[in-house]
Amino acid sequence: MNDYLYQIAKDSGLDKEVLKISHEYNKKPITSFQDSRVAGLQGVIDYIFSKGEERYAPSIDVTEFFKSDEAFSIGYSLTQETIGPAIQNRTQENKIPELNKLLEKYVNTLEGDSWQLSASKLANKGLEDSLQLLNKNYLYPEPNTTQFDNQRIIVTGSDTGIGRATALEFLRRGAKVALHYPTQEFQRGAESVVDLAREYGREARAFQGDFRNLENIPIFANKAIEYLNGVDIVVNNAGITMNQKFENTNFEQFNSLTNVNLGGAFFVTQAAAPHMKKQGKGTIINLSSVHGFNGMAGHSVYAMTKAGIIGLTRQLAIELSPKIRVNAIAPGWTATANHFRLMPELDFAEIGQTETIAGFISNPRNMAKQIVELASDNFNYLNGQTIPLDGGHTSGMYHGRGCTEVGEKPWGKGLIKGIE
């Protein structure tokens, strides 16, 4: 595995004796996400993506890759596998101000020095999350936000991306959360949320459920509801996609996407609804997509399922009213860990300027804040609606034939057979 941070430091001429960035030097386990090695890694990566400027730039949440009482080297290695090529692309041609100094501070951090001062001086250049980890307020709510104290929440597909960020946001606001991951391969991201919750005195537990088999869906839902002792809010986020021509799509691929994307929302809601009706109140938030409105070659089944979510949302709002509200959001461009892994060449800051009228590409945490607010009683008159959260992307006119070409990225690898 290429260690890109190590290579950047080496190319910059830093003293070889302090080149401790390499994961081989970091066998000592982390006992807290306040660990300077984790906070520092978050800071260095965020700084690289902001290019050392005072601007918003999507990055990743490195806590997804770490677990308490596990060697730092394991999480570091997984972070590198995900973000390494994207880091390389951003540092090859761009001279990032003060990056060498920041890297030197970080390698010294790995030898025991403080990261606090270095991060504080650069807080306005993309290091806010790093400081939150270091100061142990990462899982504290922001001021003047709606609280969900003692609310019981299920978030499916919460091992990565928007789902994981949504689970974290509910935890910040005082809720008890049941997380979901599909298979053991994807367990780490959900379990890291449980570790964070435990560290901050919150309540969370992760449950496995491979929704490709419909019979697994109510089994997961019932375990989650039993853990929560009921349920107040469900966020049906679980979803998978693939790049595949319409004429090449086989039965198994079709069933995998429809079972996860539509079956998950349908049967988790079916399991939760009786509990919500009994208590007289409940909220369902479904995740659709801009693909449910606009087409793109290679995503026929995905688009079908996301359009289906829009219809299901309207139908459930009618059948479950007035006690249960059902709405959906349709995310547009959102820079997740999978995007960085599969599309390391993209500069999301630049894409935001050209493909959204908002002028930026969202990240999972930003999406999560809006999902959580939509689940609150502040929106008690909204029902049966699907709201595009796309920075205005779908407000524009059609521009060219780019959407008619099937992409080559292996979306769905590990979950959809035939995708390598």
Annotated catalytic residues are: 302
Say if residues 159 and 181 touch (Cβ distance below 8 Å): yes
What would the two tokens of residue 122 be?
A: 């650069």
Please report the DSSP string for 291-322 in residue order: GGTS--TTBHHHHHHHHHHHHHHHHHHHHHTT
Alpha helices in 31-148 (DSSP H): 36-50, 72-92, 99-109, 116-121, 128-134
What would the two tokens of residue 142 be?
A: 């922001």
**Would you give the DSSP letter of residue 142?**
P
Q: Which residues contact 48 (CB under 8 A, 6 or more apart)?
A: 87, 90, 91, 96, 99
Beta bridge partner(s), residue 314: none
Residue at token pair 């996860």: 260
Q: Let me know if 329 is exposed, middle or buried by CB neighbors in 10 A (0-12, 13-18, 19+).
A: buried
Q: Regarding beta strands 29-30 and 203-208, do their DSSP bridges make them parallel or antiparallel, or are they unpaired?
A: unpaired
